[in-house]
Amino acid sequence: MKAYLIEKYGDRSAVRAAELPDPEPGADDVLVRIHAASVNPLDFKIRDGDFKPILPYRLPLVLGNDLAGVVVRVGPAVTRFAVGDEVYARPGKDRIGTFAELIAVDQDDLALKPAALTMAEAASLPLVALTAWQALVERARVRPGQKVLIHAGSGGVGTVALQLARHLGAHVATTASAANAGLVKELGADVVIDYRTEDFEEVLDGYDVVLDTLGGETLEKSLRVLKPGGKVISVAGPPDAEFARELGVNPVLRQVMRALGFRTRRRAGRRGVTYAFLFMKADGEQLREITRLVEAGEIRPVVDRVFPFEQTREALEYAEKGRAKAGKVVIATA
């Protein structure tokens, strides 16, 4: 099969096309012919080696964390899927590799593709939709009437999180450019802060939940817009001890992660709020819940541009340089 991989960690020049043997599915695996995959910031971080201490991938490594495609073979223990099913998934963190023609995915990480979506639209959803679900439903337990701030509302995670927060009955604020104000309002934002001309910290106050996708100064300011008892959930901030426990890392690395997040946790504690780091996980059952919301018209994908498979490197560069106006960048494999 054709695939795009790295043989060593580095910048965008490290990604190259290659011919690889077709994957062999295990007993619980589903072999999927990939029709589309989407690009995520996680791809760049893995490529650059940012997660090397905690996710020790064996090189060469095929990149890619989202897919939509068709089942071509199932393992003997598979009970939920059959050859010919149209599916989508975010594979488990140890089994990534969707910038390829084929992939073997554990059946527990897979879901049937929403019937009304194209392959490109479906491929844009799994990682960002699961991130939004695990932040707002699983971690924050957002309830009707709560105030939720979602940063970068026109981004991949933001476009889905806005819709999910609206579905949950929250009052939703977001940061976005003036050019995308109309889009984020359509997706569910009640308040739009133009990050180029306004400081959200000076406008917002008394929020229950903040979903931070930017980290740095944005994370620090987010602590100050929460009411007592509020929570910041970040996918871009420093890791915390709970993340270390989930990964099962050694005690030394666990202490390093604890130290990295100490300053943020201390500042949160002084304000009577909490901070949590989220590294989303694959989950086929949650993806089926998202499918139901898509089919009910509660969530729709936002796709910025679709690149052919042969332009995978160009798609990565386009996304990494921030050229996407809104939503996801997708690679069409078939």
**Does residue 167 share a domain with residue 58?**
no
**Does residue 51 share a domain with residue 35?**
yes
Confirm if 220 and 261 have CB atoms less than 8 A apart.
no
**Does residue 310 share a domain with residue 250?**
no
pLDDT exceeds 90 at position 330:
yes
Rounded Cα distance, 139 and 240, in Å: 14
pLDDT classification of 186: cutoffs 50, 70, 90: very high
**Does residue 10 share a domain with residue 58?**
yes
Unique residue bearing structure tokens 């695939």: 3
Unique residue bearing structure tokens 């332009």: 311
Q: Please provide the average confidence, as pLDDT, over all residues in the chain.
A: 95
**Does residue 142 share a domain with residue 114?**
no
Residue 291 lies in a domain: no
What sign does the CA torsion over 45, 46, 49, 51 have?
positive
pLDDT classification of 249: cutoffs 50, 70, 90: low
**Does residue 78 share a domain with residue 45?**
yes
pLDDT exceeds 90 at position 239:
no
What sign does the CA torsion over 77, 79, 83, 86 have?
negative
pLDDT digits (tens, 9 = 90+) for 130-140: 999 999 999 99
Expressed as residue numbers, the domain containing 173 is: 127-277
Order of strands, sheet of 61-62, starting from the edge strand that comes earlier in the sequence: 15-19, 2-6, 61-62
Residue 59 lies in a domain: yes
Confirm if 260 and 236 have CB atoms less than 8 A apart.
no
**Does residue 268 share a domain with residue 257?**
yes
pLDDT exceeds 80 at position 113:
yes
pLDDT digits (tens, 9 = 90+) for 49-67: 988 877 889 999 999 999 9
Average pLDDT over residues 239-253: 72
**Does residue 137 share a domain with residue 120?**
no
pLDDT exceeds 70 at position 248:
no
CATH code assigned at 181: 3.40.50.720
Provide the Cα torsion 36, 99, 157, 279; round to 10°.
140
Residue 84 lies in a domain: yes
pLDDT exceeds 80 at position 247:
no
Average pLDDT over residues 201-229: 97
Pairing of strands 2-6, 102-106: unpaired
Of residues 244 and 218, more confidently modeled: 218
Rounded Cα distance, 56 and 103, in Å: 20
**Quick one: pLDDT at residue 252?**
72
Total structural domains in the chain?
Answer: 2
Average pLDDT over residues 274-290: 96
Q: What angle do CA 28, 29, 31 make, to 5 degrees?
A: 155
**Quick one: pLDDT at residue 140?**
98
Distances (CA, A) of 190 to 144, 147, 148, 176: 14, 10, 10, 13
pLDDT exceeds 80 at position 266:
yes
Average pLDDT over residues 34-48: 96
Residue 89 lies in a domain: yes
Rounded Cα distance, 98 and 82, in Å: 20
Average pLDDT over residues 168-196: 97
pLDDT classification of 200: cutoffs 50, 70, 90: very high
Rounded Cα distance, 323 and 330, in Å: 13
Rounded Cα distance, 29 and 25, in Å: 5
Share of the chain above pLDDT 70, in %: 99
Q: Is 187 helix (H, G, I), strand (E, B) or coil?
A: helix
Average pLDDT over residues 261-269: 88
Residue 105 lies in a domain: yes
Provide the Cα torsion 99, 103, 107, 111; round to 10°.
40
**Does residue 144 share a domain with residue 44?**
no
Residue 294 lies in a domain: no
CATH code assigned at 11: 3.90.180.10
**Quick one: pLDDT at residue 302?**
98
pTM of the model: 0.96
pLDDT exceeds 70 at position 129:
yes
pLDDT exceeds 90 at position 256:
no
Average pLDDT over residues 33-42: 97
**Does residue 49 share a domain with residue 28?**
yes
